[in-house]
Amino acid sequence: MLAATHSEAGKTTITLGLLAALAERGLDVQPFKCGPDFIDPTLHQVVSGQVSRNLDLRMCGPDFVTACFRQYAALADVAVVEGVMGLFDGGAASSAALAKTLRLPIVLIVDSRSCAESIAAIVKGFESLDPELNLAGVILNRVGSPRHLDLLHRAIDEHCRTPVLGALPRDTDFAIPERHLGLVMGEEMPLNDEQLARLARTINQGLNLEKLLAACNIKGPKAGPATPEVTPARPSASSLARIAIARDQAFCFYYQDNLDLLVEQGAELVPFSPLRDLKLPDNIDGIYLGGGYPELHARELAANETMLTAIREWARQDKPLYDECGGFMYLTRGITDQQDTFWPLAAVFPTTARMKRRLARLGYREARITGPCFWGESGQMYGHEFHYSEIKEMPSEIRRVYTLQDGSQEGYQIHNTLAGYLHLHFGKTPAAVRNFIEFCQTGGG
């Protein structure tokens, strides 16, 4: 696990560089991301060529997380897990908790700006706070000069037991563009091939990769192909429910394990684009609109009136439609952007969304189902909320399906359309996935 002393210490940049450098050595690398982040995994995939999996103890539970890690790590020579925030931040969902659950060696990234001999106190504190953790090494990031590195190295060597595995300079010129939800998605290629090659070269020059691999007990390429754990057989074609799934620049936030669970339980996922397509896919049984950036593409979404009409008519015909966060915004009467321009959208729900300049909501959510819906008649759903928009008050006659921990209500339902800001993860709730697919197979009846 690549963890850090705090957020913005350089985890993502170093993770991408390490993925590229290990791949250059001929190692098959499987990336993972600790926590609910949608964006970092897309960057991992661009560099490694492998789908990066989210490992989130809070949303998915230790059994699902452990099974997911074992299954996909078994296919690779090296599994690299990018941590979240600082090593101990996040309680039950922290990088430290995940490392203990999976028994992962930790490589600690330390931001060395404005610090000299005091670096030893930082490293020693991380060593001693939880003796059960295996702190395998330290990477010093943003080092200012050879003399600065010498001061840091000598202090850690004198006072700490954790070895220094290398250092990276302060000025690396690998800044990844950002927007209000975080870094730019991997599909948008924020780092070109030349930058990635230079980043891998910087990692090779700055880190002792042999020492790092040895510290993490990684021997080298496997002698033969890995054997993954047995996964459920795909249902026969006759039993599939065809579910249209929005996949474009406006709707791009999906957990890969959610999509895999849908397929395993009997769904055929049919991608479509609300931005470009003029109609819904043929012969579908349900629709899934995920999160993303509808506010950045509001002009194009509003201009595609034939798709808006198709979605609106689908909902009015009581057909199954699930929408979360950005997908929910698409179903409102429209979005008012930060320039105060209003863009009319599908108008399934009698409310509007407005973009804020500051984060509106952030955090894990447990949603108790309070009445029948396509997930089931009762039970708990688990997810995460992160958005910069708010809706005007939803009319009281619109049914609320979820009650959250704080007593508030979410999950708005009209006909057989269920939507809200909550991004669900189905790791703890595979039965809800089966219920949804059966609901789609029976036409919502």
Which residues neighbour 427 within 8 Å (Cβ) at sequence distance 6 or greater? Answer: 56, 59, 60, 61, 64, 65, 68, 257, 261, 382
252 is an active site residue: no
If asked whether residues 207 and 337 sit together in one domain, one would say: no
Residue 227 has what pLDDT?
37
Give ∠ CA 391-395-401 in degrees, rounded to 5. Answer: 85
**Does some domain include residue 71?**
yes
pTM for the full predicted model = 0.89
If asked whether residues 174 and 243 sit together in one domain, one would say: no
Residue with tokens 């991997």: 186
pLDDT tens figures, 36-58: 999 899 999 999 999 999 999 99
If asked whether residues 436 and 293 sit together in one domain, one would say: yes
Question: Can you give the CATH number for the domain in which 417 is found?
Answer: 3.40.50.880
**Does some domain include residue 220?**
no
Distances (CA, A) of 211 to 77, 218, 344: 16, 10, 57
Number of independent structural domains in the chain: 2
DSSP 307: H
**Does some domain include residue 161?**
yes
**Does some domain include residue 227?**
no
Domain boundary among 215, 247, 273: 215
- Percent above pLDDT 70 for the chain: 90
Find, among 386, 387, 13, the residue nearest to 190 by Cα: 13
Q: How far apart are alpha carbons 368 and 386 in whole angstroms? A: 19
User: Whats the size of the chain, residue-wise?
Assistant: 445
Tell me the chain's radius of gyration from C-alpha atoms: 23
If asked whether residues 57 and 89 sit together in one domain, one would say: yes
If asked whether residues 251 and 204 sit together in one domain, one would say: no
409 — pLDDT class (breaks 50, 70, 90) = very high
231 — pLDDT class (breaks 50, 70, 90) = very low
Range of the structural domain that residue 93 is part of: 2-215
Largest CA distance in the chain: 72
**Does some domain include residue 228?**
no
Orientation of helix 430-441 relative to helix 256-264, angle to 10°:
60
357 — pLDDT class (breaks 50, 70, 90) = confident
287 — pLDDT class (breaks 50, 70, 90) = very high
Question: Can you give the CATH number for the domain in which 211 is found?
Answer: 3.40.50.300
Q: How far apart are alpha carbons 386 and 359 in whole angstroms? A: 8
User: Do 84 and 37 meet the contact criterion of CB atoms below 8 Å apart?
Assistant: yes
User: Do 124 and 160 meet the contact criterion of CB atoms below 8 Å apart?
Assistant: yes
Q: How far apart are alpha carbons 242 and 266 in whole angstroms? A: 9
**Does some domain include residue 47?**
yes
User: Do 172 and 140 meet the contact criterion of CB atoms below 8 Å apart?
Assistant: no
DSSP 259: H
**Does some domain include residue 229?**
no
Domain boundary among 159, 182, 215: 215
If asked whether residues 102 and 183 sit together in one domain, one would say: yes
As a 3-state breakdown, the chain gives helix, strand, coil percent values, each rounded to 5, of 35, 25, 40
pLDDT tens figures, 291-324: 999 999 999 999 999 999 999 999 999 999 999 9
pLDDT tens figures, 234-259: 444 455 899 999 999 999 999 999 99
**Does some domain include residue 58?**
yes
If asked whether residues 156 and 303 sit together in one domain, one would say: no
If asked whether residues 296 and 336 sit together in one domain, one would say: yes
User: Do 81 and 2 meet the contact criterion of CB atoms below 8 Å apart?
Assistant: yes
Does 226 or 116 have the greater pLDDT score?
116
- 60, 325, 373, 440: the catalytic one is 325
In this model, does residue 219 exceed pLDDT 80? no
Q: Kindly write down the DSSP assignment for every residue of 120-187, as one continuous string.
A: HHHHHHHHHH-TTS-EEEEEEEEE--HHHHHHHHHHHHHH-SSPEEEEEES----PPPEETTEEPPGG
User: Do 326 and 253 meet the contact criterion of CB atoms below 8 Å apart?
Assistant: yes
